[in-house]
Copies of this chain bind each other. A is one copy, B any other.
Amino acid sequence: MTIKSDIEIAQEAKPLPITDIADACGMDGAYIEQYGRYKAKIDNRFLKETNRPDGKLVLVTAITPTPAGEGKTTTTVGLADGLRRIGRNAVVALREPSLGPVFGIKGGAAGGGYAQVVPMEDINLHFTGDFHAIGAANNLLAAMLDNHIQQGNALGIDVKRITWRRCVDMNDRQLRSIVDGLGGRMQGVPREDGFDITVASEVMAVLCLASDIPDLKARLGRIVVGYTYDDAPVTAADLKAAGAMAALLKDALKPNLVQTLEHTPALIHGGPFANIAHGCNSVTATRMALKLGDYAITEAGFGADLGAEKFLDIKCRMAGLKPDAVVVVATVRALKHHGGAARAELGREDLAALERGLPNLLQHVDNIKNVFGLPCVVAINAFPTDTAAELKLVEEKCRELGVSVALSEVWAKGGAGGTALAEEVVRLCEQPSDFRYSYALGGSIEEKLETICRRIYHADGVVLTPAAQKQARRLTELGFGELPICMAKTQYSFSDDPSLLGAPRGFTVTVRNLKVSAGAGFLVALTGDIMTMPGLPKVPAAERIDVDENGRISGLF
């Protein structure tokens, strides 16, 4: 049997016209703007004008990521299709993929196998142009900033303390660190600079957290781009850039409607990094999914220590959202990796490695259940190599925590492989829950950091470098002390050391750098080096990507 690639499966699909998908949601056509036959934007007026009640909010998160893969997006899509199969009205809310990884290593990011969103080529390439709009707004602000300095620098901006970087939606390591403004006095002011990938731009986080255009403009205006010679922050509003940036973003703020292979509505909108930003789709898309579906299934980036924590502590807090249930995705292979099994051995039964790796899953589950107070189910994304004994071991250990396990076979079977998980999610959504944040906003920056590190990461505590201590004092003086914290930490470990797998103990987390994302509305705490501009590998995926004379794309996977 040859296994079909994701793009082959997607291209064999028979999607419905997007207007049919919108009709099936009962959405008035006046809110729909088509982008081609199978994509649409939905006007945010819908959120203001509808009187529908909210559905249930289900978050899909995962164990600590490994090279073995977890299949979080696939599970999210398959769960929604599974809910439809058991007669429930489910809607998916996901992040948009970035172009960079598409041409780098990762390939597409629209689910996999028979649990995908389509049209996958469009979603993985420009889609409806949101990321390009974000890049343009980011780079307009940069151009206005440097132009202000070139034209006399009335605000007294210190060129050595500019924090705003340009961006491009591409993996381009050559742009990580540059000197620009060269070539003489008419060509700008020479200074150190650099580019981030677009998903790392604060404009991305702003767009994803903004509730409407006025909120978007206010947030854009608060973005800090650098500091004056007098150490005062300089904002986008000071540069009179917020209006034009918002004009560039007015359509990007509208969620995008597509469909799964099984015609389940999917809102795919926004895609902030899950380290220096909060890592989940837009607030507007989540709110719309809650209005359109009795069950809104959404996803957060990386493992639950980063993605779910930020979804719950930042996004839910800002937007007033309350989840009803959480799915933690794991694979037997990835758990064995956490237990120390070699990559080549992951296909072999190894109960000892599995048992050594299970604490990673259990600690994430425990956090969701006991720190955040939310009902939780473990979804095992099935692989053909999983053995009955292995699955039984996972079930037993989870049962000890009072958490059930559902096998998810959505990659191979689509929604039919997700009904067991769907049934359990329906059951959990009827249970009482006691949702609470992991930390209060009122404490000092250090107190909040300490709480996250102890409660979520199970560290012995946090250490701030002298530079970070000074930054904490200054940010507090500037009035940013009560913002929530966005931890920028490796996704490969509960700790700040990517080599510590499983559920490590006896470590402290070191915060090296604190900065404010005042538009997004959080403080970013950096632990170690966080890459905000990826590079291409030796053989980029781009070399395989092609398009034929009929516009049919190949080589995306």
Residues on A facing B (Cβ under 8 Å): 33-37, 41, 99, 103, 121, 125-126, 128-129, 132-133, 135-136, 139-140, 142-144, 146-147, 150-152, 166, 168-183, 186-189, 193, 212-214, 217, 240-241, 243-244, 246-248, 250-251, 535-536, 538, 540, 542-551, 553, 555
Contact = CB atoms under 8 A, between A and B. Distances in A.
A10 to B, nearest CB: 15
Contacts of A129: 126, 128-129, 132
Contacts of A250: 547, 551, 553
A87 to B, nearest CB: 33
Contacts of A553: 247, 250
A543 B244 contact: yes
Copy total for this chain: 2
A247 B122 CA distance: 10
Contacts of A169: 136
Contacts of A548: 213
Contacts of A187: 173-174, 176-177
28 contacts: A33-B35, A33-B37, A35-B36, A99-B136, A103-B140, A125-B248, A128-B129, A129-B132, A139-B170, A140-B170, A146-B172, A147-B173, A147-B536, A151-B538, A166-B168, A173-B187, A173-B188, A174-B189, A175-B188, A177-B183, A178-B179, A178-B181, A217-B547, A240-B543, A243-B543, A244-B543, A247-B555, A251-B551
The 7 lowest CB-CB distance pairs between A and B, nearest first, are: A243-B546, A177-B183, A132-B132, A174-B188, A244-B542, A146-B174, A244-B545
B143 A174 contact: yes
Given A132-B135, A213-B551, 16 more contacts: A33-B35, A36-B41, A126-B133, A129-B129, A139-B170, A140-B542, A142-B172, A143-B170, A146-B174, A150-B535, A173-B186, A177-B187, A213-B548, A243-B545, A243-B547, A246-B546
A511 to B, nearest CB: 23
A133 B250 CA distance: 19
Contacts of A246: 546-547
Contact of A183 (B128, B170, B176): B176
Contacts of A136: 99, 126, 132, 169-170
A217 B553 CA distance: 13
Residue picked from A33, A128, A174, A538, most chain B C-beta under 10 Å:
A174
Nearest to A35: B35
Nearest to A533: B187
A550 B41 CA distance: 15
A304 to B, nearest CB: 31
Please indicate which of the listed interface residues A180, A188, A550 has the most CB atoms of chain B within 10 Å of its own CB: A180
Contacts of A549: 212-214
Contacts of A140: 103, 170, 542
A414 B430 CA distance: 63
Contacts of A168: 139, 166, 168
